[in-house]
Amino acid sequence: MIADTTAINRQRSWFIEGNSLWLFGYGSLLYKADFPYLECRPAAIRGWKRRFWQGSHDHRGTPQAPGRVVTLTEAAGTRCVGMAYRIPPEALGPLDVREKNGYLRFTTELTFLDGGNDRGLVYIATEDNPAFLGPAPVPEMARQIAHSHGPSGSNRDYLVDLAHALRRLGEEDEHVFALEEAVWSVSPSPS
Ligand code: SIN
């Protein structure tokens, strides 16, 4: 089912003070930064892992045939590597629209890979949102990704672009890389 978190996210603005804030991207925000930012730095957050468990009805799929995109799920002792962007607060409005299908603003502690830390904002689609799909066997998720397309492009490209961006950061993400490998063995759907 489709969600719309824009109104809730507008109220989650308690952390906005000053002229800029850090945004942590771990999915499409990691490789598709089509928003204004002042600087970007590779960073990690602790206690979360990246999973293709969120349905995409608006970007990489459709309401009739949703795709699968990443969200974060809690996992003690792990860390998730991504990109931190220092953004002006006015960048958040369009980001809320981009992330509206189930993602909520949370604040978290960021550790920059080149040293230091700060608080930042992260969009997470928790398992109680209506577009949440949850886990499934890798071949099943790979089939869904291989066959899904939406207004932002193919779901396969979302996965492959994310895998490339993680490699550029030197990050080994077994979940993403296993899906990337599995997706290549799925034959394309007839057009
Ligand atoms: C993110 O990239 O940080 C959120 C999930 C997505 O847009 O893919």
Decide whether any atom of ligand 1 lies within 6 Å of the 158 Cβ. Answer: no
- CATH for 128: 3.10.490.10
What pLDDT score was predicted for residue 10? Answer: 87
Rounded distance from Cα 32 to ligand 1 centre (Å)? 9
What pLDDT score was predicted for residue 189? Answer: 64
- Could you list the residue range(s) of the whole structural domain that residue 41 is in? 6-184
94 belongs to a structural domain? yes
Q: How many domains does the chain have?
A: 1
174, 130 contact by CB (below 8 A)? no
CA 91 to mean position of chain CA atoms: 17
Cα-Cα-Cα-Cα dihedral sign, residues 55, 57, 59, 65: positive
190 belongs to a structural domain? no
Decide whether any atom of ligand 1 lies within 6 Å of the 25 Cβ. Answer: yes
189 belongs to a structural domain? no
170 belongs to a structural domain? yes
Task: Return d(Cα 141, Cα 120) in angstroms, integer.
Answer: 30
**Where in 57-179 does DSSP place strands (E)?**
67-87, 104-112, 117-124, 149-150, 153-154
What residues are annotated to the active site? 99
pLDDT tens column, 24-57: 999 999 999 999 999 999 999 999 999 999 999 9
**Model confidence band, residue 77 (pLDDT cutoffs 50, 70, 90):** very high
